[in-house]
């Protein structure tokens, strides 16, 4: 496979010199931003409310004020949509998820992006703990995506989606504006 490669042209955003890099694999991680995953939910045809996919500006933001909103999912994109709902004065947001993913307070996020590479998982979870305690989010060490030794000296975090980042998530929970519901749509 070393004789097969793709010649990737890299154009620096700061206007530096273009260079070529030989790669044997290219991964594109756009999340769900490239195409909507349309799901027909039972009763949707008689619901009467707006069903949106959180993309392409298809949400009538002017209609959110005072409403209760359900968001299906728990990745970074879902958490950002919860924040957007709060900015538009919804009454309450229900984040429906099969399992609760780790969310990152802002300060640990800054540290992870500026600190040691890779940032040790133990350090990340210990930085999450004060906000998790304050917002009654439980112990971050007990989340499904955390795989740790019994003494918590070694840890791996394996989560399918990026952390939802931002203190607004925690504030919304503390003020009763966001509720996580672990279940599935039936």
Helix (H) or strand (E) holding 167: helix 167-174
Q: Phi, psi (5° rounding) for residue 9?
A: -90, 125
pLDDT in tens, the chain (186 residues): 456 556 667 776 677 888 777 665 454 444 455 566 677 766 777 777 777 766 666 677 888 888 888 888 888 888 888 898 899 999 999 988 888 899 999 999 888 888 778 889 999 999 999 999 999 999 999 999 999 999 999 999 998 777 888 889 999 999 999 999 887 766
Burial of 64 (0-12, 13-18, 19+ CB in 10 A): buried
The three-class DSSP label of residue 181 is strand
Which structure tokens are listed for 129?
């703990």
Q: What sign does the dihedral 101-107-112-113 (CA atoms) show?
A: positive
- For helices 167-174 and 76-87, the axis angle rounded to 10 degrees is 60
Paired tokens of 125: 């979870």
């Amino acid at each position: 496979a070393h004789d097969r490669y793709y010649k990737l042209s890299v154009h620096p955003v700061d206007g530096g010199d273009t260079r070529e890099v030989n790669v044997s694999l290219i991964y594109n991680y756009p999340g769900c931003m490239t195409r909507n995953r349309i799901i027909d939910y039972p009763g949707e045809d008689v619901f009467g409310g707006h069903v949106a996919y959180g993309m392409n500006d298809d949400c009538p933001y002017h209609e959110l004020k005072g409403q209760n909103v359900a968001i299906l999912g728990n990745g970074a994109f879902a958490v950002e949509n919860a924040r957007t709902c709060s900015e538009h004065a919804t009454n309450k947001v229900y984040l429906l998820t099969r399992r609760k993913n780790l969310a990152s307070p802002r300060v640990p996020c800054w540290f992870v992006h500026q600190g040691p590479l890779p940032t040790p998982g133990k350090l990340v979870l210990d930085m999450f703990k004060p906000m998790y305690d304050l917002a009654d989010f439980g112990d971050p060490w007990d989340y499904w995506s955390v795989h740790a030794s019994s003494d918590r000296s070694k840890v791996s975090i394996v989560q399918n989606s990026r952390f939802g980042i931002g203190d607004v998530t925690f504030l919304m929970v503390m003020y009763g504006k966001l509720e996580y519901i672990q279940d599935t749509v039936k």
